[in-house]
Structure 1
Amino acid sequence: MTVVDSHHHVWDLSVRDQDWITGEELAPIRRTFTLADLEPEARAAGVAATVLVQTVTVAEETPELLALADGSTLVAGVVGWTDLTAPDVADTLAALRALPGGGRLVGIRHQVQSEPDPEWLLRPDVLRGLRAVAAEGLVYDLIVRPHQLPAAARAAALLPGLTFVLDHAGKPPVALGTTQPWADGLRALAAHPNTVCKLSGLVTEADPRSWTVEHLRPYADTAIEAFGPDRLMYGSDWPVCRLAAPYADVLDAARELTGRLGEEGRQAVLAGTARRVYGLL
Protein backbone atom coordinates (compact mmCIF):
# COMPACT_ATOMS: atom_id res chain seq x y z
CA MET A 1 0.00 0.00 0.00
CA THR A 2 1.44 3.38 -1.07
CA VAL A 3 2.26 5.84 1.73
CA VAL A 4 2.71 9.60 1.56
CA ASP A 5 4.12 11.23 4.68
CA SER A 6 2.36 14.59 4.68
CA HIS A 7 4.32 16.16 7.53
CA HIS A 8 7.98 16.11 8.49
CA HIS A 9 10.80 18.55 9.14
CA VAL A 10 14.53 18.95 8.72
CA TRP A 11 16.89 21.46 10.29
CA ASP A 12 20.59 22.22 10.43
CA LEU A 13 21.72 23.81 13.69
CA SER A 14 24.95 24.97 12.03
CA VAL A 15 22.84 27.14 9.71
CA ARG A 16 20.15 28.33 12.12
CA ASP A 17 19.12 27.75 15.70
CA GLN A 18 15.77 26.16 16.44
CA ASP A 19 14.88 28.25 19.46
CA TRP A 20 11.84 26.14 20.27
CA ILE A 21 14.00 23.09 21.08
CA THR A 22 14.63 23.85 24.73
CA GLY A 23 14.57 21.93 27.99
CA GLU A 24 15.36 18.37 28.99
CA GLU A 25 12.32 16.81 27.30
CA LEU A 26 13.34 18.07 23.85
CA ALA A 27 17.06 17.46 24.32
CA PRO A 28 17.04 14.24 22.19
CA ILE A 29 16.11 16.23 19.07
CA ARG A 30 18.44 19.16 19.69
CA ARG A 31 20.74 18.21 16.84
CA THR A 32 20.80 18.50 13.07
CA PHE A 33 18.37 16.33 11.09
CA THR A 34 18.73 16.08 7.32
CA LEU A 35 16.97 14.36 4.45
CA ALA A 36 19.83 11.87 4.45
CA ASP A 37 18.76 10.89 7.97
CA LEU A 38 15.12 10.54 6.99
CA GLU A 39 15.34 8.83 3.62
CA PRO A 40 16.45 5.33 4.71
CA GLU A 41 13.78 5.23 7.41
CA ALA A 42 11.08 6.46 5.04
CA ARG A 43 12.04 4.09 2.22
CA ALA A 44 12.20 1.14 4.61
CA ALA A 45 8.69 1.98 5.80
CA GLY A 46 7.34 2.03 2.24
CA VAL A 47 6.95 5.81 2.00
CA ALA A 48 6.90 6.97 -1.62
CA ALA A 49 6.73 10.74 -1.12
CA THR A 50 6.76 13.34 1.64
CA VAL A 51 5.80 16.91 2.43
CA LEU A 52 8.52 18.98 4.10
CA VAL A 53 7.12 21.54 6.56
CA GLN A 54 8.65 24.76 7.91
CA THR A 55 9.83 25.02 11.51
CA VAL A 56 10.73 28.67 12.14
CA THR A 57 9.30 32.05 11.21
CA VAL A 58 12.34 33.09 9.20
CA ALA A 59 11.98 34.12 5.57
CA GLU A 60 15.27 32.50 4.55
CA GLU A 61 14.09 29.00 5.52
CA THR A 62 11.53 28.52 2.75
CA PRO A 63 13.96 28.98 -0.18
CA GLU A 64 16.29 26.54 1.56
CA LEU A 65 13.52 23.95 1.87
CA LEU A 66 12.55 24.43 -1.77
CA ALA A 67 16.15 23.86 -2.85
CA LEU A 68 16.27 20.66 -0.79
CA ALA A 69 13.06 19.47 -2.42
CA ASP A 70 14.41 20.33 -5.85
CA GLY A 71 17.29 17.91 -5.31
CA SER A 72 15.25 15.16 -3.69
CA THR A 73 13.40 12.16 -5.12
CA LEU A 74 11.48 11.83 -1.83
CA VAL A 75 10.16 15.31 -1.06
CA ALA A 76 7.20 16.04 -3.32
CA GLY A 77 5.96 19.19 -1.63
CA VAL A 78 7.00 21.99 0.73
CA VAL A 79 4.88 23.92 3.20
CA GLY A 80 6.83 27.11 3.80
CA TRP A 81 6.51 30.35 5.73
CA THR A 82 6.06 33.95 4.75
CA ASP A 83 4.75 36.96 6.61
CA LEU A 84 1.03 36.90 5.91
CA THR A 85 0.64 40.42 7.28
CA ALA A 86 3.15 42.00 4.87
CA PRO A 87 1.62 44.34 2.27
CA ASP A 88 3.59 42.60 -0.50
CA VAL A 89 2.71 39.04 0.49
CA ALA A 90 1.31 38.24 -2.95
CA ASP A 91 4.55 39.31 -4.61
CA THR A 92 6.57 37.28 -2.11
CA LEU A 93 4.55 34.14 -2.84
CA ALA A 94 5.02 34.61 -6.58
CA ALA A 95 8.76 35.09 -6.05
CA LEU A 96 8.98 31.88 -4.02
CA ARG A 97 7.25 30.03 -6.85
CA ALA A 98 9.92 31.30 -9.26
CA LEU A 99 12.84 29.95 -7.20
CA PRO A 100 14.59 26.62 -7.84
CA GLY A 101 12.18 24.05 -6.44
CA GLY A 102 9.41 26.66 -6.39
CA GLY A 103 7.11 24.29 -8.21
CA ARG A 104 7.09 22.14 -5.10
CA LEU A 105 5.71 24.89 -2.88
CA VAL A 106 2.28 23.55 -1.94
CA GLY A 107 1.35 25.50 1.16
CA ILE A 108 2.13 28.14 3.76
CA ARG A 109 2.17 27.86 7.55
CA HIS A 110 2.60 30.17 10.52
CA GLN A 111 3.07 29.17 14.17
CA VAL A 112 -0.37 30.37 15.20
CA GLN A 113 -0.05 28.18 18.31
CA SER A 114 2.48 30.71 19.66
CA GLU A 115 0.33 33.79 19.04
CA PRO A 116 -1.13 35.22 22.28
CA ASP A 117 -4.26 36.43 20.49
CA PRO A 118 -6.63 33.44 20.18
CA GLU A 119 -8.27 35.17 17.21
CA TRP A 120 -5.05 35.99 15.36
CA LEU A 121 -6.34 34.22 12.26
CA LEU A 122 -9.24 36.68 12.07
CA ARG A 123 -7.17 39.84 11.99
CA PRO A 124 -7.86 41.82 8.79
CA ASP A 125 -4.20 41.79 7.75
CA VAL A 126 -3.97 38.04 8.28
CA LEU A 127 -7.17 37.39 6.31
CA ARG A 128 -5.76 39.51 3.48
CA GLY A 129 -2.62 37.37 3.51
CA LEU A 130 -4.66 34.18 3.52
CA ARG A 131 -6.56 35.40 0.46
CA ALA A 132 -3.21 35.83 -1.28
CA VAL A 133 -2.32 32.25 -0.38
CA ALA A 134 -5.56 31.06 -1.97
CA ALA A 135 -5.01 33.23 -5.05
CA GLU A 136 -1.60 31.62 -5.55
CA GLY A 137 -3.23 28.18 -5.57
CA LEU A 138 -1.66 27.13 -2.27
CA VAL A 139 -3.17 25.60 0.86
CA TYR A 140 -2.77 26.86 4.41
CA ASP A 141 -1.51 24.58 7.17
CA LEU A 142 -3.00 25.33 10.57
CA ILE A 143 -0.80 24.74 13.60
CA VAL A 144 -3.10 25.67 16.46
CA ARG A 145 -4.01 24.59 19.95
CA PRO A 146 -7.55 23.57 20.94
CA HIS A 147 -8.53 27.02 22.22
CA GLN A 148 -7.70 28.46 18.78
CA LEU A 149 -9.93 26.05 16.84
CA PRO A 150 -13.02 28.33 16.98
CA ALA A 151 -11.10 31.12 15.21
CA ALA A 152 -9.82 28.59 12.66
CA ALA A 153 -13.40 27.52 11.94
CA ARG A 154 -14.48 31.13 11.45
CA ALA A 155 -11.55 31.78 9.12
CA ALA A 156 -12.52 28.72 7.07
CA ALA A 157 -16.06 30.07 6.82
CA LEU A 158 -14.82 33.49 5.70
CA LEU A 159 -12.46 32.03 3.08
CA PRO A 160 -14.27 29.16 1.35
CA GLY A 161 -11.82 29.31 -1.56
CA LEU A 162 -8.84 28.41 0.64
CA THR A 163 -8.13 24.86 1.83
CA PHE A 164 -7.09 24.73 5.49
CA VAL A 165 -5.06 21.70 6.60
CA LEU A 166 -5.10 21.15 10.35
CA ASP A 167 -1.75 19.88 11.60
CA HIS A 168 -1.58 17.27 14.36
CA ALA A 169 -5.39 17.08 14.62
CA GLY A 170 -5.37 20.37 16.53
CA LYS A 171 -3.06 19.04 19.28
CA PRO A 172 -5.60 17.20 21.46
CA PRO A 173 -4.86 16.64 25.17
CA VAL A 174 -3.95 12.97 24.76
CA ALA A 175 -1.73 12.87 27.86
CA LEU A 176 -4.63 14.11 30.00
CA GLY A 177 -7.03 11.52 28.60
CA THR A 178 -9.73 14.15 27.99
CA THR A 179 -11.40 15.17 24.74
CA GLN A 180 -13.20 18.44 25.48
CA PRO A 181 -13.27 21.20 24.42
CA TRP A 182 -10.94 19.92 21.67
CA ALA A 183 -13.49 17.52 20.16
CA ASP A 184 -16.19 20.17 19.79
CA GLY A 185 -13.69 22.58 18.22
CA LEU A 186 -12.52 19.90 15.81
CA ARG A 187 -16.06 19.05 14.72
CA ALA A 188 -16.87 22.74 14.20
CA LEU A 189 -13.84 23.10 11.93
CA ALA A 190 -14.69 19.89 10.06
CA ALA A 191 -18.17 21.23 9.33
CA HIS A 192 -16.55 23.43 6.68
CA PRO A 193 -15.85 21.47 3.47
CA ASN A 194 -12.62 23.40 2.77
CA THR A 195 -10.88 21.84 5.78
CA VAL A 196 -8.64 18.78 6.04
CA CYS A 197 -6.97 17.17 9.05
CA LYS A 198 -3.59 15.52 9.55
CA LEU A 199 -3.43 12.33 11.56
CA SER A 200 -0.04 13.36 12.90
CA GLY A 201 1.67 14.41 16.09
CA LEU A 202 -0.51 12.33 18.39
CA VAL A 203 2.33 10.27 19.86
CA THR A 204 4.01 13.38 21.25
CA GLU A 205 0.75 14.75 22.62
CA ALA A 206 0.51 11.49 24.59
CA ASP A 207 2.90 10.48 27.35
CA PRO A 208 6.00 9.80 25.23
CA ARG A 209 7.23 7.15 27.67
CA SER A 210 4.12 4.99 27.96
CA TRP A 211 1.73 5.68 25.09
CA THR A 212 -0.13 2.89 23.32
CA VAL A 213 -2.35 2.85 20.26
CA GLU A 214 -5.35 2.62 22.56
CA HIS A 215 -4.37 5.94 24.17
CA LEU A 216 -4.51 7.52 20.70
CA ARG A 217 -7.66 5.80 19.48
CA PRO A 218 -10.33 8.16 20.92
CA TYR A 219 -8.66 11.11 19.24
CA ALA A 220 -8.06 9.36 15.93
CA ASP A 221 -11.65 8.09 15.93
CA THR A 222 -12.97 11.60 16.57
CA ALA A 223 -10.93 12.94 13.64
CA ILE A 224 -12.03 10.08 11.38
CA GLU A 225 -15.69 10.63 12.25
CA ALA A 226 -15.45 14.41 11.83
CA PHE A 227 -13.52 14.57 8.56
CA GLY A 228 -13.84 11.14 6.96
CA PRO A 229 -10.94 9.44 5.17
CA ASP A 230 -11.12 11.71 2.11
CA ARG A 231 -10.27 14.72 4.31
CA LEU A 232 -7.73 13.01 6.54
CA MET A 233 -4.03 12.48 5.81
CA TYR A 234 -1.18 10.72 7.56
CA GLY A 235 1.94 12.54 8.75
CA SER A 236 4.87 11.31 10.80
CA ASP A 237 6.00 14.63 12.33
CA TRP A 238 9.57 13.30 12.08
CA PRO A 239 11.95 14.00 13.74
CA VAL A 240 9.77 15.34 16.57
CA CYS A 241 8.06 11.93 16.72
CA ARG A 242 11.39 10.43 17.78
CA LEU A 243 10.69 11.79 21.26
CA ALA A 244 8.03 9.08 21.56
CA ALA A 245 8.60 6.46 18.86
CA PRO A 246 10.70 5.47 15.85
CA TYR A 247 9.48 6.44 12.39
CA ALA A 248 8.22 2.94 11.53
CA ASP A 249 6.26 2.66 14.79
CA VAL A 250 4.41 5.92 14.12
CA LEU A 251 3.32 4.64 10.71
CA ASP A 252 2.33 1.27 12.18
CA ALA A 253 0.15 3.10 14.73
CA ALA A 254 -1.57 5.03 11.93
CA ARG A 255 -2.23 1.80 10.05
CA GLU A 256 -3.79 0.29 13.15
CA LEU A 257 -5.86 3.37 13.93
CA THR A 258 -7.30 3.41 10.39
CA GLY A 259 -7.85 -0.35 10.17
CA ARG A 260 -11.64 -0.14 10.43
CA LEU A 261 -11.83 2.07 7.34
CA GLY A 262 -11.16 -0.79 4.94
CA GLU A 263 -8.57 -0.78 2.19
CA GLU A 264 -9.99 2.15 0.22
CA GLY A 265 -10.43 4.40 3.24
CA ARG A 266 -7.03 3.56 4.67
CA GLN A 267 -5.38 4.24 1.30
CA ALA A 268 -7.00 7.68 1.27
CA VAL A 269 -5.56 8.53 4.68
CA LEU A 270 -2.14 7.05 3.99
CA ALA A 271 -1.66 8.61 0.56
CA GLY A 272 -4.65 9.70 -1.52
CA THR A 273 -5.80 12.71 0.48
CA ALA A 274 -2.31 14.22 0.68
CA ARG A 275 -1.72 13.74 -3.04
CA ARG A 276 -5.03 15.40 -3.93
CA VAL A 277 -5.01 18.25 -1.44
CA TYR A 278 -1.38 19.24 -1.97
CA GLY A 279 -1.43 18.45 -5.70
CA LEU A 280 1.56 16.14 -5.42
CA LEU A 281 2.94 14.49 -8.52
Structure 2
Amino acid sequence: MRIDAHHHLWDLARRDQPWMDGPWADPIRRSYALGDLIPHLTAHRLDGTVLVQSSSSYDETTDLLALVAGDGPVRGVVGWADLTDPGLADVLAALPRGLVGIRHQVQDEPDPDWLTRPEVLRGLGVLADAGLVYDLLVTPRELPAAQAAVHAVPGLSFVLDHAAKPEVARGAWQPWADRVTALARHPNVSCKLSGLVTEADWSAWRPGRILPYARHILDVFGPGRVLFGSDWPVCTLAAAYDDVLALAESATGGLTEAERAAVFGGTAGRVYGIGAPHGRWARPRPPR
Protein backbone atom coordinates (compact mmCIF):
# COMPACT_ATOMS: atom_id res chain seq x y z
CA MET A 1 0.00 0.00 0.00
CA ARG A 2 1.55 3.30 -1.15
CA ILE A 3 0.24 6.38 0.65
CA ASP A 4 0.77 10.12 0.27
CA ALA A 5 0.37 11.05 3.93
CA HIS A 6 0.03 14.81 3.48
CA HIS A 7 -1.80 16.90 0.93
CA HIS A 8 -4.30 19.76 0.90
CA LEU A 9 -7.42 20.81 -0.98
CA TRP A 10 -9.23 24.13 -0.71
CA ASP A 11 -12.05 26.01 -2.40
CA LEU A 12 -11.47 29.76 -2.28
CA ALA A 13 -15.08 30.36 -3.32
CA ARG A 14 -16.20 28.78 -0.04
CA ARG A 15 -13.62 30.16 2.40
CA ASP A 16 -10.42 32.17 2.55
CA GLN A 17 -7.04 30.72 3.43
CA PRO A 18 -5.61 33.35 5.82
CA TRP A 19 -2.09 31.95 5.61
CA MET A 20 -1.93 33.10 1.98
CA ASP A 21 -0.89 36.50 3.26
CA GLY A 22 1.24 37.94 0.47
CA PRO A 23 2.27 37.86 -3.20
CA TRP A 24 4.43 34.79 -2.48
CA ALA A 25 1.21 32.73 -2.50
CA ASP A 26 -0.04 33.97 -5.88
CA PRO A 27 1.10 30.85 -7.78
CA ILE A 28 -1.25 28.68 -5.67
CA ARG A 29 -3.99 31.26 -5.07
CA ARG A 30 -6.73 29.23 -6.71
CA SER A 31 -9.03 26.38 -5.74
CA TYR A 32 -7.75 22.79 -5.75
CA ALA A 33 -10.10 19.82 -5.98
CA LEU A 34 -9.49 16.10 -5.64
CA GLY A 35 -9.65 15.74 -9.41
CA ASP A 36 -6.53 17.92 -9.68
CA LEU A 37 -4.56 15.51 -7.50
CA ILE A 38 -5.73 12.16 -8.87
CA PRO A 39 -3.54 12.24 -12.02
CA HIS A 40 -0.45 12.50 -9.81
CA LEU A 41 -1.58 9.58 -7.65
CA THR A 42 -2.33 7.46 -10.68
CA ALA A 43 0.95 8.25 -12.41
CA HIS A 44 2.93 7.15 -9.35
CA ARG A 45 0.79 4.16 -8.37
CA LEU A 46 -0.25 5.65 -5.05
CA ASP A 47 -3.11 3.81 -3.40
CA GLY A 48 -4.41 6.56 -1.17
CA THR A 49 -3.87 9.84 0.64
CA VAL A 50 -4.28 11.58 3.96
CA LEU A 51 -5.97 14.96 3.49
CA VAL A 52 -4.83 17.66 5.93
CA GLN A 53 -6.58 20.83 7.07
CA SER A 54 -5.38 24.21 5.86
CA SER A 55 -7.63 26.57 7.84
CA SER A 56 -8.96 26.71 11.40
CA SER A 57 -12.50 25.81 10.45
CA TYR A 58 -14.93 23.07 11.45
CA ASP A 59 -16.77 23.70 8.18
CA GLU A 60 -13.60 22.92 6.22
CA THR A 61 -13.04 19.76 8.26
CA THR A 62 -16.58 18.60 7.51
CA ASP A 63 -16.11 19.29 3.79
CA LEU A 64 -12.87 17.31 3.74
CA LEU A 65 -14.47 14.40 5.59
CA ALA A 66 -17.09 14.15 2.86
CA LEU A 67 -14.28 13.07 0.51
CA VAL A 68 -13.57 9.96 2.59
CA ALA A 69 -16.90 8.42 1.59
CA GLY A 70 -17.08 6.20 -1.47
CA ASP A 71 -14.22 4.51 -3.28
CA GLY A 72 -11.88 7.46 -3.84
CA PRO A 73 -8.25 7.77 -2.74
CA VAL A 74 -8.78 9.79 0.46
CA ARG A 75 -8.23 7.28 3.28
CA GLY A 76 -8.49 9.73 6.16
CA VAL A 77 -8.55 13.39 7.19
CA VAL A 78 -6.43 15.32 9.65
CA GLY A 79 -8.86 18.09 10.47
CA TRP A 80 -8.95 21.11 12.77
CA ALA A 81 -10.47 21.41 16.22
CA ASP A 82 -10.22 23.89 19.06
CA LEU A 83 -8.08 22.05 21.61
CA THR A 84 -9.00 24.59 24.29
CA ASP A 85 -12.76 23.91 24.00
CA PRO A 86 -14.09 22.25 27.19
CA GLY A 87 -16.67 20.48 24.99
CA LEU A 88 -14.05 19.07 22.59
CA ALA A 89 -15.02 15.43 23.18
CA ASP A 90 -18.62 16.09 22.10
CA VAL A 91 -17.46 18.11 19.07
CA LEU A 92 -15.24 15.27 17.88
CA ALA A 93 -17.96 12.69 18.42
CA ALA A 94 -20.33 14.69 16.20
CA LEU A 95 -17.95 14.87 13.21
CA PRO A 96 -18.50 12.50 10.27
CA ARG A 97 -16.49 9.29 9.94
CA GLY A 98 -13.03 9.42 8.42
CA LEU A 99 -11.31 11.68 10.95
CA VAL A 100 -7.89 10.24 11.81
CA GLY A 101 -6.23 13.23 13.44
CA ILE A 102 -6.28 16.90 14.39
CA ARG A 103 -3.88 19.73 13.56
CA HIS A 104 -3.53 23.38 14.52
CA GLN A 105 -1.15 25.97 13.05
CA VAL A 106 1.01 26.15 16.18
CA GLN A 107 3.75 27.84 14.12
CA ASP A 108 1.49 30.91 13.87
CA GLU A 109 0.84 31.25 17.61
CA PRO A 110 2.73 34.21 19.13
CA ASP A 111 3.46 32.11 22.22
CA PRO A 112 6.20 29.52 21.46
CA ASP A 113 4.97 27.54 24.50
CA TRP A 114 1.35 27.38 23.35
CA LEU A 115 1.43 23.58 23.27
CA THR A 116 2.20 23.43 27.00
CA ARG A 117 -0.74 25.57 28.15
CA PRO A 118 -2.94 23.56 30.55
CA GLU A 119 -6.04 23.90 28.39
CA VAL A 120 -4.12 22.69 25.32
CA LEU A 121 -2.67 19.69 27.18
CA ARG A 122 -6.19 18.85 28.35
CA GLY A 123 -7.36 18.92 24.73
CA LEU A 124 -4.51 16.66 23.65
CA GLY A 125 -5.64 14.21 26.31
CA VAL A 126 -9.13 14.26 24.80
CA LEU A 127 -7.61 13.34 21.42
CA ALA A 128 -5.79 10.42 23.04
CA ASP A 129 -9.04 9.19 24.60
CA ALA A 130 -10.74 9.45 21.19
CA GLY A 131 -8.02 7.37 19.51
CA LEU A 132 -6.96 10.20 17.23
CA VAL A 133 -3.50 11.41 16.17
CA TYR A 134 -2.15 14.94 16.64
CA ASP A 135 -0.13 16.46 13.78
CA LEU A 136 2.50 18.90 15.02
CA LEU A 137 2.85 21.90 12.70
CA VAL A 138 5.83 23.58 14.33
CA THR A 139 9.16 25.20 13.51
CA PRO A 140 12.42 24.81 15.45
CA ARG A 141 11.20 27.62 17.75
CA GLU A 142 8.31 25.49 19.05
CA LEU A 143 10.13 22.15 19.25
CA PRO A 144 10.95 22.40 22.99
CA ALA A 145 7.27 22.92 23.77
CA ALA A 146 6.36 20.08 21.41
CA GLN A 147 8.70 17.76 23.30
CA ALA A 148 7.16 18.82 26.61
CA ALA A 149 3.65 18.14 25.27
CA VAL A 150 4.66 14.74 23.93
CA HIS A 151 6.12 13.85 27.33
CA ALA A 152 2.97 15.08 29.10
CA VAL A 153 0.56 13.03 26.95
CA PRO A 154 2.32 9.69 26.37
CA GLY A 155 -0.88 7.96 25.34
CA LEU A 156 -1.30 10.15 22.25
CA SER A 157 0.34 9.45 18.89
CA PHE A 158 2.00 12.55 17.43
CA VAL A 159 3.14 13.15 13.84
CA LEU A 160 5.70 15.88 13.18
CA ASP A 161 4.80 17.67 9.94
CA HIS A 162 7.46 18.81 7.47
CA ALA A 163 10.31 17.71 9.75
CA ALA A 164 9.65 20.86 11.85
CA LYS A 165 10.59 23.14 8.95
CA PRO A 166 14.38 23.43 9.12
CA GLU A 167 15.79 26.57 7.53
CA VAL A 168 17.17 24.80 4.47
CA ALA A 169 17.54 28.00 2.45
CA ARG A 170 20.03 29.36 5.00
CA GLY A 171 21.74 26.02 5.45
CA ALA A 172 20.91 26.20 9.17
CA TRP A 173 21.46 22.93 11.02
CA GLN A 174 21.23 23.84 14.69
CA PRO A 175 19.24 24.02 16.88
CA TRP A 176 16.91 22.10 14.56
CA ALA A 177 18.96 18.90 14.42
CA ASP A 178 19.41 18.48 18.17
CA ARG A 179 15.80 19.39 18.94
CA VAL A 180 14.43 16.93 16.36
CA THR A 181 16.74 14.25 17.73
CA ALA A 182 15.39 14.87 21.25
CA LEU A 183 11.80 14.66 20.01
CA ALA A 184 12.53 11.41 18.18
CA ARG A 185 13.49 9.74 21.47
CA HIS A 186 9.79 9.61 22.31
CA PRO A 187 8.33 6.42 20.78
CA ASN A 188 4.88 7.98 20.34
CA VAL A 189 6.18 10.46 17.72
CA SER A 190 6.52 9.84 13.98
CA CYS A 191 7.70 12.32 11.34
CA LYS A 192 6.59 13.23 7.84
CA LEU A 193 9.18 13.36 5.10
CA SER A 194 7.42 16.34 3.58
CA GLY A 195 7.57 20.08 3.04
CA LEU A 196 11.34 20.36 2.71
CA VAL A 197 11.39 21.83 -0.81
CA THR A 198 9.46 24.89 0.33
CA GLU A 199 11.96 25.47 3.14
CA ALA A 200 14.75 25.63 0.51
CA ASP A 201 15.39 28.32 -2.09
CA TRP A 202 12.32 27.93 -4.28
CA SER A 203 14.04 28.87 -7.53
CA ALA A 204 17.48 27.35 -7.00
CA TRP A 205 17.20 24.34 -4.67
CA ARG A 206 19.16 21.21 -5.42
CA PRO A 207 18.73 17.73 -3.92
CA GLY A 208 22.16 17.97 -2.31
CA ARG A 209 20.98 20.88 -0.12
CA ILE A 210 17.86 19.04 1.08
CA LEU A 211 18.95 15.41 1.40
CA PRO A 212 21.02 15.89 4.60
CA TYR A 213 17.88 17.06 6.41
CA ALA A 214 15.81 14.17 5.06
CA ARG A 215 18.46 11.63 5.99
CA HIS A 216 18.77 13.07 9.50
CA ILE A 217 15.04 12.45 9.95
CA LEU A 218 15.43 8.88 8.73
CA ASP A 219 18.39 8.34 11.04
CA VAL A 220 16.82 9.63 14.25
CA PHE A 221 13.25 8.35 13.79
CA GLY A 222 14.04 5.21 11.82
CA PRO A 223 12.08 4.25 8.67
CA GLY A 224 9.37 2.66 10.78
CA ARG A 225 8.36 6.09 12.10
CA VAL A 226 8.73 8.14 8.91
CA LEU A 227 5.88 8.86 6.45
CA PHE A 228 6.16 10.24 2.93
CA GLY A 229 3.98 13.28 2.25
CA SER A 230 3.95 15.45 -0.86
CA ASP A 231 2.50 18.61 0.72
CA TRP A 232 0.79 19.16 -2.62
CA PRO A 233 -0.19 21.73 -3.86
CA VAL A 234 1.91 23.89 -1.52
CA CYS A 235 5.01 22.06 -2.76
CA THR A 236 4.43 23.44 -6.26
CA LEU A 237 5.75 26.79 -5.07
CA ALA A 238 9.16 25.15 -5.38
CA ALA A 239 8.78 21.79 -7.14
CA ALA A 240 6.45 19.57 -9.10
CA TYR A 241 4.83 16.52 -7.51
CA ASP A 242 7.19 14.31 -9.55
CA ASP A 243 10.23 16.15 -8.15
CA VAL A 244 9.06 15.84 -4.53
CA LEU A 245 8.50 12.11 -4.88
CA ALA A 246 11.85 11.66 -6.63
CA LEU A 247 13.57 13.51 -3.79
CA ALA A 248 11.97 11.20 -1.21
CA GLU A 249 12.96 8.16 -3.25
CA SER A 250 16.54 9.44 -3.37
CA ALA A 251 16.61 10.00 0.40
CA THR A 252 15.42 6.44 0.99
CA GLY A 253 17.58 4.87 -1.69
CA GLY A 254 19.89 3.18 0.82
CA LEU A 255 17.08 1.52 2.76
CA THR A 256 15.88 -2.05 2.42
CA GLU A 257 12.73 -2.81 0.45
CA ALA A 258 10.79 -3.32 3.69
CA GLU A 259 12.04 -0.01 5.09
CA ARG A 260 11.04 1.88 1.94
CA ALA A 261 7.62 0.23 2.09
CA ALA A 262 7.21 1.62 5.60
CA VAL A 263 8.10 5.17 4.56
CA PHE A 264 5.86 5.11 1.49
CA GLY A 265 2.78 3.63 3.13
CA GLY A 266 3.26 1.22 6.00
CA THR A 267 3.92 3.84 8.66
CA ALA A 268 0.94 5.93 7.55
CA GLY A 269 -1.26 2.85 7.66
CA ARG A 270 -0.18 2.00 11.18
CA VAL A 271 -0.14 5.52 12.68
CA TYR A 272 -3.38 6.77 11.14
CA GLY A 273 -5.17 3.41 11.15
CA ILE A 274 -5.67 3.50 7.40
CA GLY A 275 -7.01 0.30 5.88
CA ALA A 276 -6.36 -1.22 2.49
CA PRO A 277 -7.88 0.51 -0.57
CA HIS A 278 -11.32 -0.62 -1.60
CA GLY A 279 -13.76 -0.29 -4.46
CA ARG A 280 -12.63 1.22 -7.74
CA TRP A 281 -9.45 2.65 -6.22
CA ALA A 282 -8.30 -0.84 -5.15
CA ARG A 283 -7.84 -1.92 -8.79
CA PRO A 284 -4.26 -2.20 -10.06
CA ARG A 285 -2.79 1.09 -11.15
CA PRO A 286 -1.29 1.50 -14.62
CA PRO A 287 2.45 0.77 -14.81
CA ARG A 288 4.82 3.73 -14.71
| TM bracket, shorter-chain basis | over 0.9
1:207 aligned residue (201, 205, 212): 201
Q: Who is 1:26 aligned against?
A: 25
In the other structure, the counterpart of 2:11 is 12
Tell me the equivalent position of 1:245: 239
Aligned to 2:86: 87
Gaps of 5+ in 2: 276-288
Say whether the 8 Å CA contact 1:164–1:194 is kept in structure 2.
yes
> Deviations for 1:229-270, whole angstroms, at most 9, x for unmatched residues?
000000000000011111111111100111111211111111
For 1:225, which of 185, 197, 219 is the aligned residue?
219
2:281 matched residue in structure 1 = none
CA distance in 2, matches of 1:215, 1:264: 27
Deviations 1:64-105 (A, max 9, x none): 110122245100010001101001001111111xx2xx1x11
The match for 2:133 among 128, 131, 139 is 139
* Correspondence 1:52-67 to 2 at 5 A: 52-67=51-66
Tell whether the 8 Å contact from 1:213 to 1:257 is kept in structure 2 after alignment.
Answer: no
* TM norm structure 2: 0.94
What is the DSSP-based 3-state SS (H/G/I as helix, E as strand, rest coil) of the residue aligned with 1:178?
coil
Deviates more, 1:132-141 or 1:261-270: 261-270
Q: Does 1:78 align with 2:77?
A: yes
Distance in structure 2 (CA, Å) of the matches to 1:200 and 1:151: 21
Give CA-to-partner distance per residue, 1:4-52, whole Å, 9 cap, x none: 1000000000000112113222110000001010011111111111000
Asked which structure has the greater RCO (Cα within 8 Å, sep 6+), the reply is 2
- Partner in structure 1 of residue 164 of structure 2: 170
3-state SS of paired residue (2:19): coil
Q: Distance in 1 between matches of 2:70 and 2:78?
A: 16
Query: What SS does the corresponding residue of 2:68 show, helix, strand or coil?
Result: helix
User: Which letter does structure 2 place at the counterpart of 1:256?
Assistant: S
Residue type of the alignment partner of 2:250: E
Q: Please name the residue that 1:105 is paired with.
A: 99
CA separation in 1, counterparts of 2:266 and 2:57? 31
Identity %: 57
Count of residues in correspondence between the two structures: 275
Instruction: Decide whether the 8 Å contact of 1:13 with 1:32 is kept in 2.
Output: yes
Judge conservation of contact 1:233–1:273 (CA < 8 Å) in 2. Answer: yes
Q: Is 2:193 the partner of 1:194?
A: no
C-alpha separation between the residues in 2 aligned to 1:164 and 1:12? Answer: 28
Select between 236-245 and 71-80 the one with higher mean Cα deviation.
Answer: 71-80
Select between 7-16 and 59-68 the one with higher mean Cα deviation: 59-68
* Mapped partners of 1:266, 1:176: distance in 2: 29
Contact 1:224 1:232 in 2 (8 A): yes
* Aligned-pair CA distance for 1:3: 2.1
- Cα contact 1:109–1:143 (8 A) shared by 2: yes
Question: Which residue pairs with 2:114 in the alignment?
Answer: 120
1:136 to partner: Cα distance: 0.4
Question: Aligned equivalents of 1:43 and 1:130: distance in 2?
Answer: 36
Whichever residue aligns with residue 188 of structure 2, its letter is: N
The offset of 1:221, in angstroms, is 1.3
After superposing on structure 2, the runs of 4+ consecutive aligned residues of structure 1 that deviate more than 4 Å are none
Secondary structure, counterpart of 2:58 in structure 1: coil
Question: Contact 1:42–1:247 at 8 Å: present in 2 too?
Answer: no
Range that drifts further, 66-75 or 113-122 = 66-75
